[in-house]
């Protein structure tokens, strides 16, 4: 099973962005989402932003993921 994680874009340079979620930061490719910008939430899978989503949906998903932690 593959899981995409909602993360917030903190900074962006070209087709690369620094994203953050739950205390974790990483650099990803946003080349598939040309309109993603700083402050947007995106679904990250395998180092790529694959979908843009609104803040409410992102936070709901993150809350569900927190509940699943042991």
Q: Where are the alpha helices (DSSP H) in the chain?
A: 55-68
Residue 54: pLDDT band by 50, 70, 90 thresholds?
Answer: very high
Closest to 6 measured CA to CA, from 56, 46, 61? 61
Q: Is the pLDDT of residue 49 over 80?
A: yes
Residue 41 contacts residue 5 (beta carbons within 8 Å): no
Residue-averaged pLDDT of the chain: 92
Instruction: Give the whole-angstrom CA distance, residue 7 versus residue 61.
Output: 10
Q: What is the pTM of this model?
A: 0.88
Alpha carbon distances (Å) from 60 to 16, 26, 56, 65, 66: 26, 21, 6, 9, 10
Domains of the chain: 5-68 (2.30.30.140)
Average pLDDT value for residue range 31-44: 95
Predicted confidence (pLDDT) at residue 15 exceeds the cutoff of 60: yes
């Amino acid at each position: 099973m593959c899981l995409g994680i909602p993360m917030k874009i903190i900074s962006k340079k070209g087709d690369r962005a620094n994203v953050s979620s739950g205390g974790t930061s990483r650099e990803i490719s946003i080349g598939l989402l040309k309109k993603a910008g700083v402050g947007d939430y995106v679904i990250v899978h395998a180092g790529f932003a694959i979908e843009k989503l609104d803040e409410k949906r992102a936070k709901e998903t993150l809350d569900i993921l927190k509940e699943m932690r042991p």
